[in-house]
Amino acid sequence: MIELQRGSVRVLVDDEYGARVASLRVAGCERLLTREHSPDPVLGWGSYPMVPWAGRVRSGRFVHDGHRHQLPLRLPPHALHGTVLDRAWVVDDAQPDRVEMHIDLGPHWPWPGIVRQTVELDVDGESGALRCRLEVSTDSMPSARATGFPAQVGWHPWFADGDRAPRLDFAAQAMYRRDRSGIPTGDTVFPGPHPWDDCFVGVIDPPMLTYSDGLRINVWSDCDHWVIYEPGHALCVEPQSGPPDGFTIAPHVVRSGEPLSRSMVITW
C-alpha cells in the first residue's frame, strides 16, 4: 500500500490490488467506500482503473480484424471491467504526493500490451485535487504492430458518505438504451428516471457530489462517456473512453505509436 499525503489529505493506493485508490480522506472523513465496508471485496470498493475495456462486454465476445475472441466472464454471462483491477502492479516511482505504476494486460487478453497509471495529489489550503492518468499501448511489441488491438480505459470510483451515497448533481443530453441483458444497444434516448445503472453522453457539467458535512466533490475527465450506478449504499461515477460493449458499438484501436490516454480528476 502506497500513501500519498499533502497537509491533512491522505490517499492510499493499493499497488497489490489493481492500483486502485483504496482510501481518500479529506477534511477528516473517508470519501470512498473502503474494502472493509464493502459487501463485494473485489468489485465494490475504492476507485480502480478499468483496462483494456470498461463496463461489460456482451457474453465476453467480440470481433477484431475478422477474428472472434472470447474473454473470461467475471460476472456471467458477461465480461466485466478489464483484466487489471485485482492484480499487482509494478511501482516505477513513488513520491510523497505522486506514484507511477505499470502492468501488462495479462494472460486473458489476446494481445501483448502495457498499461501505465499515474496518481498525483495536489492540495492548496482547503481545496485539492486527485489526478489519475491512464495510458494503454502496444509498447512497440512486434506482434501487436500490424493490426493493433481494441481498447478502452476508465475508472470505477465508489463514493460513500458513511453508509449511504452522497447527493449527486448530474445532467446529460442522452443515455444509451439497454436491452434485457443490461447491455447498450447503441441507440441513445433522453435520460430516464433514477436509480441509474446507465451510460450517458453529452454531459453538461462535471458531476458534483455533496456530502452530509457540506464537502463538495467534482469529477472531471476528458472521457466522453459516463456510467452512473446508484446501488443505494454508495454512488459510482465512472468516466470511460467509450460505452459498455464498446468493442462492438464504438471500437477504438491502439496501434504502435498510437496509445490511448485519458485522465480523471477528483476535486474538492
Closest of 115, 132, 44, 107 to residue 80, by C-alpha: 44
Asked whether residue 120 is assigned to any structural domain, the reply reads yes
Distance CA 218, CA 6 (A): 19
pLDDT at site 140: 55
pLDDT tens figures, 205-253: 999 999 999 999 999 999 999 999 999 999 999 999 999 999 999 999 9
* Mean pLDDT for the chain overall: 95
DSSP 141-187: -GGGTTT-EE---EEEEEE-BTTBPPEEE--EEEEEEE-TTS-EEEE
Tell me how many domains the chain contains.
Answer: 1
Asked whether residue 190 is assigned to any structural domain, the reply reads no
Bridge partners, residue 188, by sequence: 176
Task: Give the sign of the dihedral formed by CA 266, CA 136, CA 154, CA 201.
Answer: positive
Asked whether residue 23 is assigned to any structural domain, the reply reads yes
Asked whether residue 33 is assigned to any structural domain, the reply reads yes
- Is the full-model pTM beyond 0.85? yes
Residue 163, domain extent: 2-168+206-267
pLDDT above 50 for 145:
no
Asked whether residue 21 is assigned to any structural domain, the reply reads yes
pLDDT tens figures, 37-57: 999 999 999 999 999 999 999
Asked whether residue 180 is assigned to any structural domain, the reply reads no
Q: What is the CATH number of the domain that holds 109?
A: 2.70.98.10
Percent of the chain beyond pLDDT 70?
97
pLDDT above 50 for 189:
yes
- Average the pLDDT over each of 19-33, 80-94, 107-121, 138-152 and give the range with the smallest value: 138-152
pLDDT at site 139: 72
pLDDT at site 144: 45
